[in-house]
Amino acid sequence: GAVVSQHPSRVICKSGTSVKIECRSLDFQATTMFWYRQFPKQSLMLMATSNEGSKATYEQGVEKDKFLINHASLTLSTLTVTSAHPEDSSFYICSARLGPSSQPQHFGDGTRLSIL
Amino acid sequence: QKEVEQNSGPLSVPEGAIASLNCTYSDRGSQSFFWYRQYSGKSPELIMSIYSNGDKEDGRFTAQLNKASQYVSLLIRDSQPSDSATYLCAVNQETSGSRLTFGEGTQLTVNP
C-alpha cells in the first residue's frame, strides 16, 4: 500500500520552457502532499506543502510564481516550473501523506529535470 | 545546532555485520520519527516509523528511540551489499507543524 506515482521521471528541455510534473497517490487519498528538490550529495529541501482545494504553503525563498502548485483532488498534485532556466535543473520529488502529521510521508520516484 | 543531526559518515561495514546509524534532534516535543533509505539517484523509501520509547523491530531492522536523550537510531543486522544507500532520519517536530525535518543523511557501504 501507500503507492505514490510521479510523472515524468525525466525531462530535458530548452531554457524558457514550462514543465509540469504530476504526483498521484494511487491507493490512498492524500490529505497533504509535499514537493521537494534535491541537489547532488545534498539532503531534501522542502519547497511547498499543499492541501487539496487550498493554496500551497511555500517555504521561505521559494518563488510562488516560478513554481506553481495545484492540488485539485485528494489524489493529484501538480508542480509547474515556469520559464525554466538551467539553474532550475534538479531532482524534484513529491510525497503524500494520509492523515495527520504523525503519519509518514510516502515518496514518488522523482523527476530529474535538466534545462539546457 | 542543527534541528536533526546524523553521523555524516560515510559508514563502511563488512557483509554480515551490524550497521548502526544514529540521529539526534533538537525539539523535545517531537513525537514522530522515521527512517528512510535512499539509493543513489532514487527517491527515499520508508523503512521504519517509531513513536514510543524503546525498540521496534522489523526483520533485520531495529529502530530505537530515547526521547529523554532526544536520540533515535537504526540498527541493520546481517548487513547486505544491497543495504548500501544513504539513510535519512526524519522527525516531525512540534515546532515545524506539518513538515518533516530531515537530517543530512548517513551514507552506508556494506562491503562483500
Question: Which pLDDT does position A1 carry in this prediction?
Answer: 67
Q: Which residues of A touch B100 (CB under 8 A)?
A: 46, 105
**A–B: how many Cβ contacts below 8 A?**
48
Cα(B17)–Cα(A115) distance, integer angstroms: 43
Q: Mean per-residue pLDDT for B56-60?
A: 97
Residue B88: closest CA among chain A residues belongs to which residue?
A: A43
How far from chain centre, in Å, is Cα B84?
14
- Grid coordinates representing B26? 533538537
pLDDT by residue for chain A (116 residues), tens only, comes to: 689 999 999 999 999 999 999 999 998 888 899 999 999 888 899 999 998 888 899 999 999 999 999 988 889 999 999 999 999 999 999 999 988 888 899 999 999 999 99
**Backbone phi, psi, residue B60, to 5°:** -85, -5
Mean per-residue pLDDT of chain B: 93
Peptide bond into B14 cis (omega under 30): no
Give contacts of A 53-92 with B, CB under 8 A.
Answer: none
